[in-house]
Chains A and B, each alone.
Chain A
Amino acid sequence: MTAIDSALQPAHGTAPDHHAKPQGIGRWLFATNHKDIGSLYLWFAFSMFIFGGVLALCIRAELFRPGLQFWQPELFNQFTTLHGLIMVFGAIMPAFTGLANWMLPLMIGAPDMAFARMNNWSFWLLPPAALLLLLISFAVPGGAAAAGWTLYAPLSTQMGMGMDLTIFAIHIMGVSSIMGSINIIVTILNLRAPGMTMMKMPMFAWASLITAYLIIAVMPVLAGVVTMVLTDRHFGTHFFNAAGGGDPVLYQHIFWFFGHPEVYIMALPAFGIVSHIIPTFSRKPLFGYTSMVYATSSIAILSFMVWAHHMFTTGMPATAQLFFMYATMLIAVPTGVKVFNWIGTMWQGSMSFETPMLFAIGFICLFTVGGLSGVTLSIAAIDIQLQDTYYVVAHFHYVLVAGALFSLFAAVYYWFPKMTGRMYSEFWGRFHFWWSLLWFNVTFFPMHFLGLAGMPRRIPDYNMQFTDFNTLASVGAFCFGLGQLIFFANMLHSLRHGRPAAARPWEGADTLEWQIATPAPYHSFVEAPDLEVGENGRIDAMHGGKHH
Chain B
Amino acid sequence: MRPLRALAAVLAAFFGVRRGRAANVDRQLRFADLIAAAIILVALFVGGLLLLVSWLTAP
Contacts and interface: CB of A to CB of B under 8 A. Distances in A.
Contact of B42 (A199, A290, A294, A301): A301
B9 A326 contact: no
Interface SS, A side? helix
A318 to B, nearest CB: 5
B56 A322 contact: yes
Contacts of A459: none
A199 B57 CA distance: 43
B50 A323 contact: yes
B46 A326 contact: no
A420 interface: no
Contacts of A317: 57
B32 interface: no
Interface residues of A, number: 25
A294 B49 contact: no
A294 B9 contact: yes
Contact of A291 (B17, B49, B54): B17
Interface SS, B side? helix
A336 B13 CA distance: 13
B2 interface: no
Contact of A337 (B16, B23, B27, B57): B16
Interface string B13-56: 11111101001001100000000001000100110011011101
Nearest to A199: B27
Given A199-B27, A301-B38, A305-B46, A294 B16 contact: yes
B14 A298 contact: yes
Interface residues of B, number: 24
A301 B45 CA distance: 12
A295 B16 contact: yes
A327 interface: yes
A291 B53 contact: no
A186 interface: no
A294 B38 contact: no
A326 B48 CA distance: 11
Contacts of A199: 23, 27
B10 interface: yes
Interface of A: 199, 288, 290-291, 294-295, 297-298, 301-302, 305, 317-320, 322-323, 326-327, 333-338
Which 10 pairs show the lowest CB-CB distances between chains A and B? Answer: A334-B16, A337-B16, A295-B16, A294-B13, A290-B23, A322-B53, A298-B13, A318-B57, A291-B18, A319-B57
Interface of B: 9-10, 12-18, 20, 23, 26-27, 38, 42, 45-46, 49-50, 52-54, 56-57
